[in-house]
Structure 1
Amino acid sequence: MERTPIESAAEKFLTSIGAANPESAATALDWIDANWSDELLPYFIEIYRFTQDTPEQRKLLKLLRKKIGQKPTKNFERFNQYVWSQDLTNSPDYAYFKQLVHRGLDPAFENYFTPDRRFDIRLDEVTWGGVKQDGIPPLRQPAMIPAADADYLAGTDVVFGIEIDGEARAYPQRILAWHEMFVDTIAGVPLVGVYCTLCGTVILYETSVDGTDHELGTSGFLYRSNKLMYDRATQSLWSTMKGKPVIGPLAGSGIELPTRSIVTTSWSEWRRRHPDTQVLALETGFDRDYNEGVAYRDYFNSDDRMFQTPFADDRLEDKEEVLALRFTPEGETPVAISASFLKRNRIYEDEIGGQTYIILTDASRANRVYERPANLGFVAWDKRQTATDHHGVKWTLTEAALTAPDGRTLERLPAHRAFWFGWHGAFPDTVLIK
């Protein structure tokens, strides 16, 4: 694809810095100054991020200040916020430029950004996360052990629990935080569990769609502080939060991974409910400190973000947890519910787009969502196993459904925890219940 003169000048400036050719860089920058277009802003934000404190970087900083009217600052985030606030269209050649900037970090990145690829998200909001492709290694078909053998776990340790067709498994946060993804098969169902530590989400998807099993991994890139997955077959980039491809050959294909239920709870509570559960073995094949709370300790203990998002919403603190409901009908506004609100309201009933539901929060603060007929309400919940409806019928909680003595069932609905800023970044029009 033939590039415009200004795009060629941006490339020349970048390569001149890499070749330590200040004269060539100065010539390119002078031409850019005289022929400025705001569409060039994303190019130079990329260059500014990856250049050292050189005379060329300082000249670039001066030019950026001049063009966007910012006060003197080396604040990379301020420039990003300005760019994201503009109604800019990323040209196809910007993909080539992004490829040029990043391919030296990992040859695999060259596959992500080519001018002929479809982009369903703003490319200038796609940020390198600081690692190579699968640089945070997923656990693929990891070894599991019986609960009785998991003496490395304390009862208070956080686990992510799954049960499918009676087969229960637990994935401890202390292990998964180092890997951020597991690929597994439970009861014959191929699954991927994606734990985005940055935005606090752990989401469970089926990987098979229309007979194709998508082999997913960690791309090394983020979108609004939420990790992007990739698939090995096409190197398309996938939204973790939405479970669908957003960049590459599969973008716009209509593929969307089916969501499964997963619960965040304590090891003691999960084991009480599922004494025959399997749990991740501590021997993963990787050398990591898997002690509780080690991974991302400083990040989890502050409200600071590691990466930016274009939007801010002060209805909650950035890292306050919400329960994200994943069964919103097409066309309806997404809904998130404050975890603190659910702690205060252990039985919560509501409706989305005609789907009535109930959320039960147990003693470990684990949230489970079930379908509910509009004419059925619940009046009591023992925070362990039994919920009582307004007719006095006692329903038993399982991972799959609420079950009445007469055999009636209320099926589980998919939901997961997330940090408020992460969910809001993906769904800025979300309804918040707090």
Structure 2
Amino acid sequence: MVYSARIDGKPTIFGTSGMLYRSNKLMYDRRPKRCGVHCSEAPYRPSGASRRPQTGDIPPWLPRYGVEWLAEHPDTSVLSPLNDFYRPIVYPREDYYKSTYYRYRTIPNTMFPVWNRDSRLGTKAGVLGVSISDSHIAYTVSTPRALRVVNDRVAGRDVVIVSSAISSDIRVYERDGQEFQLPSGSFDGRPAAMVDESGETWTAGESALVSEDGSTTLRRLSSNIYFWYAWFAFHPETDLYSALQK
């Protein structure tokens, strides 16, 4: 997750405490040394802070394959693995069997006991979590990957989800009553555009859906991908999307 590191208008330096809360990392503000937990799309609130760190102009980020990212951002900069902290060998792909958490992702067990579970999905099933107002809903990652476009309604608000078929590059936007579908000739990566029911093409940008003439924008909503047990631990009242109920 990426957040602005400003609290109450001041830059803040964060560190990791080495502690967990409901299997989620506890971070701390280095200067007043306040601890706080981060989970879901809402950043944590350190004790004593009058407001949370904000995402600001930083759009929600989800992992994607390099070819997908480079297609959209050919002039991107890459953080070098050559640094003073770890050797390059410490940074293998996460799907490589020698990566740090490869085995953890492939077994059903958790490192620490999880006090509240839900059997509707496997413990480590991947879900896209979306929160709007006080409503929370999870979509199994395989669902938007298979459907590519999901038109849904959450907490009385129309939303559309657009997904890559080959990675976790999944985005959620407002749709304001529009019904979207894939444009013709789409490829397996996340589509850069969608088509509404009238045939108009909308650009699926980093921060918003933009109509063909640029007169209308539908903002991107915050979302992220979690293990099912982690999402449920923080949102036990969550709904679980089912395409069969639509």
TM-score tier after normalising by the smaller chain length: 0.7 to 0.9
Match 1:401 to one of 198, 208, 223: 208
Instruction: Give the conservation status (yes or no) of the 8 Å contact 1:264–1:417.
Output: no
What SS class does the counterpart of residue 295 from structure 1 fall into? coil
Deviation at 1:409, TM superposition (A): 2.0
Q: How does 1:112-131 map to 2 (within 5 A)?
A: none
Partner of 1:386: 193
Structure 1 letter corresponding to 2:4: E
Query: How far 1:254 moved relative to its partner?
Result: 4.8
Query: Considering only CA atoms, is the larger Rg found in Structure 1 or Structure 2?
Result: 1
How far apart are 1:337 and its partner, in Å?
1.2
Identity of aligned residues (%): 32
Distance 1:396 1:265 in 2: 19
Q: Mapping of 1:151-190 within 5 angstroms?
A: none
Q: Which residue of 1 aligns with 2:111?
A: 306
| 1:305-340 Cα shifts (integer Å, max 9, x gaps) | 1112211111111111111114x11xx222221111
Q: How does 1:14-413 map to 2 (within 5 A)?
A: 203-241=1-39, 242-245=42-45, 249-250=47-48, 253-259=49-55, 260-288=59-87, 289-292=90-93, 293=96, 294-326=99-131, 328-329=132-133, 332-365=134-167, 366-374=169-177, 376-381=178-183, 382=186, 383-407=190-214, 408-413=216-221
Higher helix share: 1
Give the structure-2-normalised TM-score. 0.84
Q: Distance in 2 between matches of 1:283 and 1:322?
A: 33
Instruction: Give 1:429 shift.
Output: 1.4
Q: TM-score, normalised by structure 1?
A: 0.49
Unmatched 5+ stretches in structure 1: 1-202
- The DSSP-based 3-state class of the residue aligned with 1:410 is strand
Question: Quick one: higher RCO (CA 8 Å, sep 6+), 1 or 2?
Answer: 2
Equivalent residue pairs, number: 224
Aligned equivalents of 2:15, 2:199: Cα separation in 1: 48
Equivalent residue, structure 2, for 1:419 = 227
Distance (whole Å) between structure 1 residues aligned to residue 170 and residue 141 of structure 2? 8
- The 2-side partners of 1:371 and 1:224 are apart by 31
Give the superposed CA RMSD.
1.8
- Match of 2:65, as an amino acid? S
Structure 1 window deviating more from structure 2 (357-366 vs 377-386): it is 377-386
8 A contact 1:363–1:384 mirrored in 2: no
Q: Which amino acid in 2 is paired with 1:310?
A: W
Instruction: Name the amino acid aligned to 2:174.
Output: E
What's the CA shift for 1:205? 1.6
The alpha-carbon deviation at position 399 of structure 1 amounts to 1.3
**Cα offset, 1:239, TM superposition:** 1.1
Q: Could you say if the C-alpha distance between residues 368 and 290 of structure 1 is closer, same or farther in structure 2, counting changes exceeding 3 Å?
A: same
Q: What is the distance in 2 between the residues matched to 1:232 and 1:411?
A: 33
**Partners of 1:256 and 1:351 in 2: CA distance:** 27
Rounded to whole Å, the distance in 1 between the matches of 2:51 and 2:113 is 28
